[in-house]
Amino acid sequence: MGRMVAICGAFAALGLGSTPGFAQATRTWVSGVGDDANPCSRTAPCKTFAGAITKTTAGGEINCLDSGGFGALTITKALSIICAGVEGGVLVSGTNGIVINAGVSDAVHLSGLDIEGLGSGISGIAIIQAGQVRIENSTIRGFTAGGIYVAPATASGGVRVDVLDTVVADNGSTGIRVKPGGGASVQLSAQRVTISQNAGDGLIANGTGSTGMIGVTMRDSASVNNVLSGMTAYSAGSNVAVVLDGVIASANNTGVVARGSGATLSFTRSTITGNATGVLQAAGGAAVSYDGNVIAGNTASGSFGTAPQQ
């Protein structure tokens, strides 16, 4: 009997009597009725994104089987989260929804997410480092520091961000904030994006504290009913360029703003209407109106330059 107990103890010490671990997979699954003790397979899904990421290889993909609340997540590697035809909920209070702090060449893809900060969350999606981030078919609301906050800190942390078919609304500060540090550069493209009812700017590209290049392109989108501006290019000596094409800026305090030497904002085929001030150039910033714009119905049109269509 004693010999049998000793043998069983030895097997337990070797881990043979415990629940086996699971190998990482290139595709994993989450479900509202899943369990993080599962291997995150389609037939045995996990409950949270945090549970699934540990079982997903770098460059792999997490899919949502059904709609559910899958929790906050920090992404430290190349990864896709795709919730097609369902709602991938991220509900947080007093913290960030999703933090991306991956490798400098890593690609991160987020699709089909509903990220809610309940009025006290910090940032919906905070991008610290990655090579490329793609956000699409998502809704981000209820955050205090910004719906999407792009803030790489070093030159090696430069990032390209693409935002498509996404709503960023009802945040306690800026909707989309681009503010790199050090020598980091950011290229952000927004297409078919609605930014509305944020307590700060709809979108701001802020070069304060950065020596890198900030380039923002916004197409076929709208920034409306924001407390400050629809879109702002702000520079404190850095190079900040915002290009608007087919954009509506309406019912903001200021439609579009170029502030500070080094800040350039240009717009084409855009409508600037219903704002207290349509266009603002300040402190050496340049706002340039190309062909096809409508700037009307503002309390004051504001000051802007003109240039022929290239």
- What would the pLDDT profile of 52-98 be if each residue is shown by its tens digit? 999 999 999 999 999 999 999 999 999 999 999 999 999 999 999 99
Band of the pLDDT at 13, cuts 50, 70, 90?
A: very low
- The Cα-based distances of 140 to 101, 167, 174, 242, 267 in angstroms read 19, 6, 12, 22, 26
Average pLDDT over residues 32-51: 98
Report, at the CATH architecture level, how domain 79-306 is classified.
3 Solenoid (2.160)
Distance CA 101, CA 64 (A): 22
Instruction: Say if residue 9's pLDDT is above 50.
Output: no
Average pLDDT score over residue span 238-243: 93
Assign 22 a pLDDT band (cuts: 50, 70, 90): low
pLDDT tens column, 278-294: 999 999 999 999 999 99
Q: What's residue 54's pLDDT?
A: 98
- Mean pLDDT in residue range 8-30: 62
Q: Where are the domains of the chain?
A: 79-306
Q: Which two tokens stand for residue 91?
A: 């509900």
**pLDDT band at 255, cuts 50/70/90?**
very high
d(CA 166, CA 187): 18
Query: What is the chain's mean pLDDT, rounded?
Result: 91
Helix (H) or strand (E) holding 241: strand 239-245
Is pLDDT above 80 for 139? yes
- Give pLDDT, residue 12: 41
pTM of the model: 0.91
Rounded to an integer, the average pLDDT of 142-167 is 93
- Dihedral angle of Cα 66, 32, 52, 72, to the nearest 10 degrees: 110
pLDDT at 238: 78
